[in-house]
Amino acid sequence: MAVDRLLVNLDLNLLVTLDVLLRERNVTRAAEQLGCSQPTVSNALARLRRYFDDELLHRAGNRYELTPLAVQLAARTPPAVAGVRRVFDVREEFDPATVEREFTIITSDYATAVLGPIVARLVAERAPGVRLRIQQATPDAVDHAPESLRTVDGVILPHGFLTNVPRTELYEDRWVCIVDRDNPAVGARLSLARLEEMPWVVLFDRPTAFAPAAQQLRMIGVEPRVEIVVDGFLQMPFLVAGSDRVALVQERLAWRIADAAGVRVLECPFDAVPLAEAFWWHPMYRSDVAHAWLRELLVEAAGQLAAT
């Protein structure tokens, strides 16, 4: 394989400096973040400008703005820096008590709300030098999973969206319906006919992005009358409260938020297949001992969640 001359001549320090400069948009603040002098960062910026033949940062009044090229670079540099860090973080031995590393996980606000606190507690107890970065799952990240998984440590998603990707099974949850606490039209139970009449709050509502239970409802011939589409489960109870709307959410989330949102939790009037959450990750992490530790910790956290 031919040697990539660009990579041979690349100064990785410039990549880190570029990432911080594009994020801070200020040489002084970038220098503070990098722990070096302002002239050092100014010199690096000059080298970057020559390399890209672009100003990257241009003054607009009393502040700096990104050029169009810099906007493109700003989206590419964080994954590039994370990739470099992962290459040099791979070691034969891993001591969670002393390691300094950041793990990035893409997941829904639901999984963050129910599993996240347990994971955060275990990490704080066992690996004080580890930082968690939680990113909100989006349809684009799921649709482009092969690319997404190269730039993060993994994705927590239910079965049914990803295939041919290594996974670590976590836990199951039931689907329930939520309605306004004082909705006079809904008694102790819901029927399929009533579900079809009521206005709905649903997640994403796209061909490749949806709540699995809502898809199951359509498969048995009930088409929800969608009134509001959201991009997170935590928004649903508050959009159901004070209205005649209905939504399908996970049972653990429903009971956690029911009182605060002012909603009632009811059984689904159809046999909804439980949600099976898993941690999906790229094959390149098979031999990464730190990543293996993360997977084991997630399984332990899921076990604690299931026991509650």
Residue spans of the domains in the chain: they are 5-87, 90-172+276-306, 175-273
Residue 268 tokens read as 């689904």
Please give the average per-residue pLDDT across 85-108, as a whole number: 80
Instruction: Tell me if 234 sits within 8 A of 133, measured CB to CB.
Output: no
The 8-class DSSP code of residue 186 comes to: -
90-172+276-306 with 175-273: one CATH topology? yes
pLDDT at 1: 44
**CATH superfamily entry for domain 90-172+276-306:** Periplasmic binding protein-like II (3.40.190.10)
pLDDT mean across residues, the chain: 88
CATH superfamily of 175-273: Periplasmic binding protein-like II (3.40.190.10)
Predicted confidence band of residue 88 (pLDDT cuts 50, 70, 90):
low
Rounded Cα gap, residues 301 and 67, in angstroms: 44
CATH class, domain 5-87, is: mainly alpha
Give the number of other Cβ atoms within 10 Å of residue 220's Cβ.
10
Q: What single letter denotes the amino acid at residue 136?
A: Q
Residue 3 is predicted with a pLDDT of 41
Q: Taking a C-beta distance cutoff of 8 angstroms, is the pair 111, 120 a contact?
A: no
Report the pLDDT value the prediction gives residue 124, as an integer from 0 to 100: 97
Nearest to 91 by CA among 100, 82, 80: 100
Reply yes or no on whether the pLDDT at 139 is more than 90. Answer: no
299 against 212, higher pLDDT: 299
> How many Cα neighbours within 13 Å face the side chain of 70?
21
pLDDT value for 92: 56
- Reference 224, options 209, 234, 210; nearest CA is 210
Q: 149 is written with which tokens?
A: 């998984």
70 falls in which pLDDT band (50, 70, 90)?
confident
Residue ranges with strand state E in the chain: 57-60, 63-66, 101-107, 130-136, 154-158, 167-173, 175-180, 199-203, 225-230, 246-250, 263-267, 275-280
Asked whether the beta carbons of 112 and 94 are under 8 A apart, the reply is: no
Residue type at position 33? Q
Determine the average pLDDT of the residues in 22-35.
86
Residue 308: CB atoms within 10 Å: 7
- Length of the chain measured in residues: 308
